[in-house]
């Protein structure tokens, strides 16, 4: 049995809830998590070499919701002034919320309420919630967010919605692609997934255009505004994303 250093022993059983923001050393099925404050980044390769060539180090960083810009969009944090365009552009439209898990907004007060919650949540470094602002009109037309995080496997589930006036124009594909790049490149996620009601195939089309692969359908596995539904799941892992860029 290989002799372990003090750092190895102390971190071998570190909780995976603290994975992001840590070095992730992996050898086959064994994983050792090393807090970043215990080792400088320029020493990462040296540590990996000392432990063994079969290990590699992947640095996880906690970013929070950062502004992302594309050719047509600005993905940014929500502000209270977004309430009116949020209500008008998408949240009050039953066609937009048809396959979502939250009800159609009945008044702009509903928007003010959720925006207040999001703004408070921005204090947390692992909260990812963007407004999709269309540069052409200077106001948000939808939103995209990380709806579920799994720190133990460095995975994020993405959810999104956009106003009906902007469907089928490639805007959501542009937004999702930008968020995927941020999560893979800047945050260090290893897996990004998304799912949709099988009766809403256009959402799945966005996932496929962004390089996600269909992984299967779970029958009667979720509930949305249509009731209990079958869910199709798509995902992409970092290696596939890197290969897609080449």
pLDDT of residue 19: 37
**Cα diameter, the chain:** 65
* Residue ranges in the chain whose pLDDT is less than 70: 1-61
Return the residue matching tokens 């460095």: 154
Task: Starting at the earlier edge strand, list the strands of the sheet with 73-76.
Answer: 68-69, 73-76, 129-134, 139-150, 155-162, 191-197, 227-237, 213-224
pLDDT of residue 184: 94
Phi-psi region of 183 (alpha: psi -120 to 50; beta: other; left: phi over 0): alpha
pLDDT of residue 172: 98
Phi-psi region of 26 (alpha: psi -120 to 50; beta: other; left: phi over 0): beta
- State how far the Cα of 56 lies from the Cα of 3, in Å rounded to an integer: 19
Q: Are 200 and 163 in contact (CB under 8 A)?
A: no
Q: How big is the CA angle at 54 (ends 51 and 56), to the nearest 5 degrees?
A: 80
Nearest to 196 by CA among 80, 90, 98, 81: 98
């Amino acid at each position: 049995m290989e002799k372990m250093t003090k750092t190895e022993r102390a971190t071998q059983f570190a909780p995976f809830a603290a994975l992001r923001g840590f070095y992730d050393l992996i050898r086959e099925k064994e994983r050792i998590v090393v807090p970043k404050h215990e080792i400088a980044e320029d020493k990462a390769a040296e540590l990996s070499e000392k432990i063994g060539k079969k290990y590699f180090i992947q640095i996880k960083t906690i970013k929070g919701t950062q502004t992302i810009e594309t050719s047509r969009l600005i993905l940014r944090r929500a502000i209270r002034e977004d309430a009116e365009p949020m209500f008008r552009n998408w949240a009050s439209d039953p066609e937009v919320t048809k396959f979502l898990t939250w009800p159609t907004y009945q008044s702009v007060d509903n928007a003010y309420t959720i925006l207040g919650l999001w703004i408070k949540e921005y204090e947390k470094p692992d909260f990812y919630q963007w407004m999709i602002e269309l540069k052409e009109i200077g106001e948000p037309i939808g939103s995209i967010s990380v709806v579920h995080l799994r720190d133990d496997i460095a995975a994020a589930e993405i959810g999104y919605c956009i106003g009906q006036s902007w469907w089928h124009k490639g805007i959501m594909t542009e937004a999702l692609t930008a968020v995927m790049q941020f999560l893979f490149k800047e945050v260090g996620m290893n897996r990004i997934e998304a799912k949709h009601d099988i009766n809403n195939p256009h959402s799945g089309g966005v996932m496929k255009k962004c390089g996600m692969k269909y992984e299967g359908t779970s029958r009667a596995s979720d509930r949305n505004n249509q009731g209990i539904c079958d869910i199709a799941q798509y995902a992409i892992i970092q290696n596939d994303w890197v290969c897609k860029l080449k």
